[in-house]
Amino acid sequence: MLSVSLPDRAVVTVSGQDAEDFLQALITTDLDQLTETEALPGALLTPQGKIMFDFMVTRDEAAIRLETTMDQAEALLKRLTMYKLRAPVTLSLISPASVEIVFSEIAGGYRDARFAKAGHTVYRVYGAATDPTGTEDYDRLRIAGGIAISGADYALQDAFPHDVLMDKNGGLSFKKGCYVGQEVVSRMQHRGTARRRVVTVTADSALPETGTPLTVNGRLIGSLGSVIGTSGLAIVRTDKAGAAIAAGEPILAGDIVVILALPAWTGLEFPAQADEASA
């Protein structure tokens, strides 16, 4: 059984009689859709609708577990504490936390819904992993599936949930009612104004480093995120990328010609022309 242990993980646990109602009114994930064996992506947004914290959400008996990065964990706990007021909710933090990734079904594991959408089997297991091990197999699969993570692929408080495909991977609800930032993301959804999206990036030679600009005729359309060899991820303006593809214009990462693709599982397509009004 192939598995890896992730480094730099932390867990914020929310428990108590009002734990679910408390989180349901704050985070993007619809907890009514969260099963006992599934891990759903989620975020706590700014009032302007951008991702302030991101995490994976699972059930831990009577509690809700928010798995995030160690550098987010204390600030996330502080933010939740601010919202808590006198609610009968208990917040706790484990940092670092043991998180193991298993590439097959396993008892006691939680199937990662992001990978399931992309047609891959990935389970998250808590509390049983040993020392962190190399994560290249996990990252290769993540890149192939168009699964972006904060830090490597986007900066917190700079990306909307639509930018990182949360409207497609089960991490963003448009039905459960109000939560922080909900009005902004709902407006983007209903008006179809999401123009930045995660794409896969491939080249005939090794890609340059994370952060390298993606350009068309010298104009910026995005930048590289996670990179392994000739494959990577980026968040790009899809209208500008689509116009370049339709016109046969080369898209460059630094000075390397690259091919961009929207993950097939999303059902998204590149527009054929750029929206100059929103440049």
Residue 277 confidence (pLDDT): 47
- Which residues in the chain are classed under CATH 3.30.1360.120? 3-138
Residue 279 confidence (pLDDT): 45
Mean pLDDT of residues grouped by 10 in the chain (279 residues)? 87 96 97 97 98 97 95 98 92 95 94 97 85 82 97 97 97 94 95 95 98 98 98 97 96 97 97 62
End-to-end C-alpha distance for the chain, whole angstroms: 48
3-138 is a CATH 3.30.1360.120 domain: yes
> What's the pLDDT tens digit per position in 232-242?
999 999 999 99
Residue 22 confidence (pLDDT): 96
195-278 is a CATH 2.40.30.110 domain: yes
Residue 221 confidence (pLDDT): 98
- Which residues in the chain are classed under CATH 2.40.30.110? 195-278
